[in-house]
Structure 1
Amino acid sequence: MAISRSLIHIINALHLLLLHLAVSQYNIVTVGSQSSNIIRSLPGFSGNLPFKLETGYVGVGDGDEIQLFYYFIESERNPEEDPLVLWLTGGPGCSAFSGLIYEIGPLTFDYEISSWNSTTLLYNPYSWTKVANIIFLDAPVGTGFSYATTWQAYYTGDRLSAATNYNFLRKWLMTHPKFLKNPLYVAGDSFSGIVVPITVQEINNGNEVGVEPLMNLKGYMLGNPLTDEHVDHNSKVEFSYRKALISDQLYESAKINCKGEYINIDIENALCRKDIEIFHECTANLSISHILEPQCPVTASPRPALLKLHPSRALIEDDHSINLLLSLSHLPNDHPSMCRDFHYFYSGYWANDQTVQNALQIRKGSKERWSRCNRTLAYNFEVSSSTDYHRNLMNKGYRVLVYSGDQDIIVPYVGTLEWIGALNLTVAHAWKPWFVDGQVAGYTVHYRSKKHDLTFATVKDAGHTAPEYKPKECLAMVDRWLAHKPVYSQ
């Protein structure tokens, strides 16, 4: 472990040096601590936008050296009364635009007619902005269009990122005071399972000591969240057994030989080592985001060195092979129906178009190239489990929604249920199906303690980012939950 930590420090130092050179190369000028713009139309979308979109920057840190970019979309129903949601996409380092365009926002790409040179946007009728005001935040710094004016400010980590999110929200609400009374929720998925609870703790702590503005914090939402590094990844063996990816015999053998420990195995335990080798052989060629979908051959490329040091922590997609295809003038023949990963190509072409950046009011010189997921963050993975943060928040009266696409092997629902069980909450409503249009959309269980309220729901046939696979069902789920109704209500 000491060698690994030394290597991490060296790599982070190299990243900081590169960032220093990049900041020196570009003449970045910060235009005040905050800026915002109402965007009425976007390249690729026909006509005016049928919703209110605001983009802007909020400066945080000493001297506002960190400039966090955001997309804010008002609720399409009742912005004065509907909840305000701060959305944090996972990674770390995946842009808020990824969550907006592929998951819960009101725009999506038209994959049937789009090309490299002409990306067409469509209205998403299942956007969560149907029921909530949403701030999509490019965080941490270095993500999406967020940037820093000093190279030192690019260094961040789990706790610092959460504190920065809190300071962003404070400043944003100061300039948007009409939303102070709206119920506030913090939400995110994937790696945000680490950062969201810490951010909620920051907001809670600020409220308790009277930091202005006081926020109307009501709870948080997590999708397929990385929560406890060991529990989540150790659960992949049991998940694979439940999904018939490994045999009954292998599962029983591994349980006995490895004694339930599949991550930190004893290298001298030959029987356990052999079982784990067979497990990896059985699961190596799956699409890990959704085990029932085909694996995309062009995305089979090695992870960069930083991610190899944290193979279970960094959950960003590997865009290496995507970058190799950026120069192609046409899509591969099996696009789009055969491989979902091709969908991600469009965001890079769209967001790096200068007309798009002009429309979004991106500051010139602040970003050399936009990436959907930035793999070169100088990031300190310091929190291996956010479970203690959940425990700390249990007596604060917050509501929690945790949902999992049930075909995801990156963060299996099995591990999520395990850490939820460790909170020792009382089951208020036992496991039962929930429905959309008369069809089973998943299964849900409701937990409760004296002040804590937690709903867990699976989303049937969904993958790692559930709304991407089942947008209609996920909108129904979050609409019911935000309205304080059981997920299983119709």
Structure 2
Amino acid sequence: MLFAVFLLLASLDGIKSQFLVKTLPGLDGDLPFTLETGYIGVGASDDVQLFYYFIESEGNPEDDPLIIWLSGGPGCSSISALMFQIGPVTINYAISTLENPILKLVPYSWTKVANIIFLDQPAGSGFSYAKSPESYITNDTLASKLAYSFLRKWLVDHPKFLSNPLYVGGDSYSGIIVPLIVQEIYNGNEIGEEPPMNIKGYMVGNPFTDTSGDYNSRIPFAHDMALLSDAIYKSAKENCGGEYLNVDPNNSLCIHALQTVDKCLERINIHQILEPVCDTSNTIKSDLSRRDLRGLHKTSLDTWSLPQLQKRWCRDDKDEYTAAWANRNDVREALHIHEEFNNIEWVRCNKSIQGYISMENPSYTGNVPSVVGYHRHFTDKKCRALVFSGDHDMTIPHLGTLNWIQSLNLPVVDDWRPWFVDDQVAGYTMKYINGTDYSLIFATVKGGGHAAGEYKPKECLNMFVRWLANDTLSLDRTIT
């Protein structure tokens, strides 16, 4: 096995770089965890340079799972997950300024129990880039193949992790990409590609899975959450036939009903319906009126274009603080960013990838409208799946996620029931199986938004640890 891996070192093309990072600007002292950063070239002539942050488990890195984690967008940096969802550091807003962002450690990082690769993908996300304009042009299928190629090369460079249980994870739009990568891994193992990967399963949070189903669940969700009256919901449902994405332009009754819906929801923060929108002095247009799911991380306000009149911290401020941090020269030196990136501005979510800047020529095409079929295919594999949703997320409502899970027609072994952290209800969960080899846990995270880990980090860490330990969310232990 190791001999074959060493042979691959010579056979896999491309110059790869990896560096241990001992300190980070904005955080005092040496890092209390092992952080490695680097680039791996993939695609034709290694034209696409994918950047990653790798954090070793703070528990038992030799045996703990290895996770490759993708952020959504598409086009959002993995800093979204590393700093704001499941990673060990974040911005200390209380003492930070845009001129001097300060970091702090967080207690509920998934790296307490897992080795995690945070990957910037596709090219144009975070610090990842391409050497030619043509190589920025991609789609769901190609992006997943390049991420799979990255993972193969990374494991060749890190053979000590080949035997660790491997999981693929991500949130939001990566709900499309994660199953595609998992399928690539199963295919590669079946045909004998080296190195063989010890794939055990996958996890997706607030996952974009089915374009029509996810979008069409927004209005029923809004009704369930008392944002729409019975009469308004009934009118929309009957006049649109439950189809709110692909609306017949001649169906004036449906269009009128949806206009009424939009008026009810235009000032609702769809990422977490209980949180305020960031700047109430501006007119907010509901994301529902756009009739698409292409930009799942686009907030209702573009905080870069608004005058800085905000009177209090808002969750969207993380875009500006992380950009201020990542564009500092000392940060780029500490992370060992390639010189080719020197003149490129880092943004947390690159809206140009999906055409927010040039709608006529987006570099990314969503060519896989649904991955429900992939999830169904995995039910015949030896596979564990964790699917979780913040229950106050209207971007990808948990109702749509439950719908596609139920369409798999799997036996239910644990029906809808609460799960607990600190003796309080942290959400609700169900468990599905297929034979003895496949299991799927679905969990809501009470009070969570898009994505759940950002809003409820303690609960999400406990969920993850319990799932890893025994495939349930039973109250075995609580991480405090």
TM-score by length of 2: 0.90
1:382 pairs with 2:367: yes
Paired position in structure 2 for 1:150: 132
Q: Give yes or no for contact 1:301–1:321 (8 Å, CA) kept in 2.
A: no
Q: Which moved more, 1:312-321 or 1:119-128?
A: 312-321
Q: Which moved more, 1:110-119 or 1:269-278?
A: 269-278
Q: 1:98 to 1:392 in 2, by over 3 A?
A: same
Q: Give yes or no for contact 2:67–2:169 (8 Å, CA) kept in 1.
A: yes
1:343 pairs with 2:299: no
Paired position in structure 2 for 1:463: 449
Q: 1:210 to 1:193 in 2, by over 3 A?
A: same
Report Cα offsets for 1:159-201 as digits up to 9, x if no partner: 0000001000000000100000000000000000111100110
State how far apart, in whole Å, the 1-side matches of 2:179 and 2:347 are. Answer: 26
* RMSD of aligned alpha carbons: 2.1
SS at match of 2:388: strand
Q: Give yes or no for contact 2:48–2:135 (8 Å, CA) kept in 1.
A: yes
Paired position in structure 1 for 2:294: 313
SS at match of 1:365: helix
Q: Give yes or no for contact 1:84–1:183 (8 Å, CA) kept in 2.
A: yes
SS at match of 1:483: helix
Paired position in structure 1 for 2:458: 472
Q: Give yes or no for contact 2:244–2:291 (8 Å, CA) kept in 1.
A: no
Paired position in structure 2 for 1:361: 336
Q: Give yes or no for contact 2:441–2:471 (8 Å, CA) kept in 1.
A: no
State how far apart, in whole Å, the 1-side matches of 2:116 and 2:377 are. Answer: 26
Report Cα offsets for 1:408-467 as digits up to 9, x if no partner: 111000100011111111111000000000110000011111242111000000101101
State how far apart, in whole Å, the 2-side matches of 1:271 and 1:370 are. Answer: 45
State how far apart, in whole Å, the 2-side matches of 1:318 and 1:301 are. Answer: 13
Q: Give yes or no for contact 1:230–1:263 (8 Å, CA) kept in 2.
A: yes
Q: Please report how far the alpha carbon of residue 300 of structure 1 lies from its aligned counterpart in structure 2 after TM superposition.
A: 6.5
One of 213, 230, 242 as aligned partner of 1:248: 230
One of 110, 114, 120 as aligned partner of 1:128: 110
Q: Please report how far the alpha carbon of residue 482 of structure 1 lies from its aligned counterpart in structure 2 after TM superposition.
A: 1.2
State how far apart, in whole Å, the 2-side matches of 1:204 and 1:334 are. Answer: 51
Q: Please report how far the alpha carbon of residue 476 of structure 1 lies from its aligned counterpart in structure 2 after TM superposition.
A: 0.2
Q: Which moved more, 1:479-488 or 1:78-87?
A: 479-488
Matches within 5 A, 1:1-150: 33-150=15-132
Paired position in structure 1 for 2:428: 443
Q: Give yes or no for contact 2:185–2:197 (8 Å, CA) kept in 1.
A: yes
Report Cα offsets for 1:19-46 as digits up to 9, x if no partner: xxxxxxxxxxxx9620000000010001
State how far apart, in whole Å, the 2-side matches of 1:264 and 1:150 are. Answer: 36
Paired position in structure 2 for 1:234: 216
Matches within 5 A, 1:213-224: 213-224=195-206
1:291 pairs with 2:277: no
Paired position in structure 2 for 1:433: 418
Q: Please report how far the alpha carbon of residue 363 of structure 1 lies from its aligned counterpart in structure 2 after TM superposition.
A: 1.2
Unpaired runs of at least 5, structure 1: 1-30
SS at match of 1:297: coil
Q: How many residue pairs get matched?
A: 451
SS at match of 1:222: strand
Report Cα offsets for 1:376-396 as digits up to 9, x if no partner: 221111011111111222211
One of 146, 157, 162 as aligned partner of 1:164: 146
Q: Give yes or no for contact 1:299–1:318 (8 Å, CA) kept in 2.
A: no
Q: Please report how far the alpha carbon of residue 319 of structure 1 lies from its aligned counterpart in structure 2 after TM superposition.
A: 9.6
Q: 1:300 to 1:360 in 2, by over 3 A?
A: farther
The one-letter code matched in structure 2 to 1:345 is E
SS at match of 1:181: coil
Report Cα offsets for 1:195-245 as digits up to 9, x if no partner: 110011011100010100000000000000010000001011110111000
Paired position in structure 1 for 2:381: 396
State how far apart, in whole Å, the 2-side matches of 1:216 and 1:195 are. Answer: 19
Paired position in structure 1 for 2:9: none
1:195 pairs with 2:195: no
Q: Please report how far the alpha carbon of residue 260 of structure 1 lies from its aligned counterpart in structure 2 after TM superposition.
A: 2.1
The one-letter code matched in structure 1 to 2:311 is D
Q: Please report how far the alpha carbon of residue 117 of structure 1 lies from its aligned counterpart in structure 2 after TM superposition.
A: 1.2
Report Cα offsets for 1:28-79 as digits up to 9, x if no partner: xxx9620000000010001000000000001111221111100000000000
Q: Give yes or no for contact 1:316–1:375 (8 Å, CA) kept in 2.
A: no
Report Cα offsets for 1:261-311 as digits up to 9, x if no partner: 2222333333333222211111111011000000112896999xxxx9983
1:418 pairs with 2:390: no
Q: Please report how far the alpha carbon of residue 318 of structure 1 lies from its aligned counterpart in structure 2 after TM superposition.
A: 4.9
Q: 1:373 to 1:148 in 2, by over 3 A?
A: same
Q: Give yes or no for contact 1:298–1:322 (8 Å, CA) kept in 2.
A: no
State how far apart, in whole Å, the 2-side matches of 1:277 and 1:244 are. Answer: 17
The one-letter code matched in structure 2 to 1:351 is A
SS at match of 1:322: coil
State how far apart, in whole Å, the 2-side matches of 1:388 and 1:157 are. Answer: 18
State how far apart, in whole Å, the 2-side matches of 1:150 and 1:302 are. Answer: 38
Paired position in structure 1 for 2:247: 265
Unpaired runs of at least 5, structure 2: 1-12, 354-362
SS at match of 2:146: helix
1:486 pairs with 2:462: no
1:370 pairs with 2:346: yes
Q: Percent identity?
A: 51
State how far apart, in whole Å, the 2-side matches of 1:75 and 1:185 are. Answer: 14
State how far apart, in whole Å, the 2-side matches of 1:458 and 1:309 are. Answer: 27
Q: 1:112 to 1:443 in 2, by over 3 A?
A: same
Paired position in structure 2 for 1:181: 163
- Structure 1 runs (4+) greater than 6 angstroms displaced: 298-303
State how far apart, in whole Å, the 2-side matches of 1:262 and 1:320 are. Answer: 23
Q: Give yes or no for contact 2:86–2:109 (8 Å, CA) kept in 1.
A: yes
State how far apart, in whole Å, the 2-side matches of 1:48 and 1:124 are. Answer: 15
SS at match of 2:304: helix
State how far apart, in whole Å, the 1-side matches of 2:157 and 2:290 are. Answer: 41
Paired position in structure 2 for 1:25: none
SS at match of 2:341: coil
Report Cα offsets for 1:96-150 as digits up to 9, x if no partner: 1111001110001111110011111111110000110000000011111111112
Q: Which moved more, 1:383-392 or 1:403-412?
A: 383-392
